[in-house]
Chains A and B, each alone.
Chain A
């Protein structure tokens, strides 16, 4: 049932490309034959492609690192040891309270300014991934925490009376229920991440948006930015589709 609107939205997204192109006077399509406009689009896409790849890489590695890291941060935040809890709270408040762009700059340029360690292009990629992972881990930690706290106390008590250890209770009883609770907010976060990858331009990490901006400047035409926008949009359609499927799959029970 739910599939249909998603597909409709997807098609709408695809239709948007020529529609936007045609509506703009600056583009070749309006002034000359349709074939030229198509070639121009292919050209833009091929120039964007290395950036698309870089954006996808950053996205994928951020997810791979930040989602498990978020769970560790969440544990630390819920620690019985007050010191650990306070340090984690401070970490989360810094990550959420300052711009991601600033954090990226600190991670990338920090070692150079503080320790005079020379900057390398390789480190640029690492810095982007580290900066994003640290930032997103803080958000995921808070989402996980809300998911864990939504599990009723009675579940812990039932598990305890049945003899489950604390670890078993978490793994078998709490974690699966938490996962279900957090899927909608995690989807939100992932969608934001897709768009946030464009912030990596702050440390001159060449991703899709950086290239689109360069193309726009070189052609003095806003259309390359629109094309980039359409790619973000399409990618997020896929994200919502996949997450929607996962959410539906987890809906085999209710409370």
Chain B
């Protein structure tokens, strides 16, 4: 089943056309990595998909339910009730974690499931604790984010997103704010989630990670998808010159 379907999305900031015509679909259980140079529109694509940014034209749907349709070449958003429901299908992990600094780790994870999704407190706390266990930071439940390392904070952020039981999880450069050692902590978690068949879309600069973990790699440049396919094809034998040039640079 297609969890995410984006068709012909376009997005312009003032005069700058950031997304020119992009279509993506993601199947259940698939891990998709999005690569590309800075300013290629990767993050904007993710922000449009998670509705942090409104798209100018194109359509967006989750699990076959329309969030955005197109009328006369313009994007039209579904009614609030519908969007509210669709909001539950996805989660997003930010580059800068964006944990709530005034909440403990546990409250960061449990507040939304309890107060937004109106689930049983006991059940949510139990689930949060087992998520923290998986992340290897169960002992940090009562800490505040400022008391944790960047890697630990990002693991809390991942647990917070997972606690909402999303069908698909987006990651916006989840390791870019971390040093190499902490980066490997997070990549380990992502590998674990991939092995659990979590559907994920990951914007990343970690080429090796993208090759090892993803089912599909998408390469973006200047608002277009210039190449996509199996990681070994795109990363090891790119057809497009720009992809080749970019990979040569980052691989050193």
Interface residues, chain A, with chain B CB atoms under 8 Å away: 152, 154-155, 157-164, 168, 172-173, 176-177, 180, 252-255
Contacts and interface: CB of A to CB of B under 8 A. Distances in A.
A30 to B, nearest CB: 56
A65 to B, nearest CB: 27
Contacts of B101: 177, 253-255
Interface residues of B, number: 27
A161 B91 CA distance: 7
23 contacts: A152-B98, A154-B98, A155-B98, A155-B100, A157-B94, A159-B100, A161-B52, A161-B161, A162-B116, A163-B84, A163-B87, A163-B116, A164-B116, A168-B116, A172-B111, A172-B115, A173-B100, A177-B101, A180-B102, A252-B144, A253-B101, A253-B145, A255-B101
Given A253-B102, A253-B145, A253-B146, A163 B117 contact: yes
A20 B63 CA distance: 80
A166 B50 CA distance: 17
B155 interface: no
B23 interface: no
B203 to A, nearest CB: 15
Nearest to B90: A161
A253 B116 contact: no
Nearest to A164: B116
Given A155-B98, A155-B100, A177-B101, A162 B146 contact: no
A48 B100 CA distance: 49
B112 A157 contact: no
Contacts of B50: 161
B10 interface: no
Contacts of A253: 101-102, 144-146
Nearest to B144: A253
In this complex, which of A154, A159, A163 has the most chain B Cβ atoms within 10 angstroms of its Cβ?
Answer: A163
Nearest to B146: A254
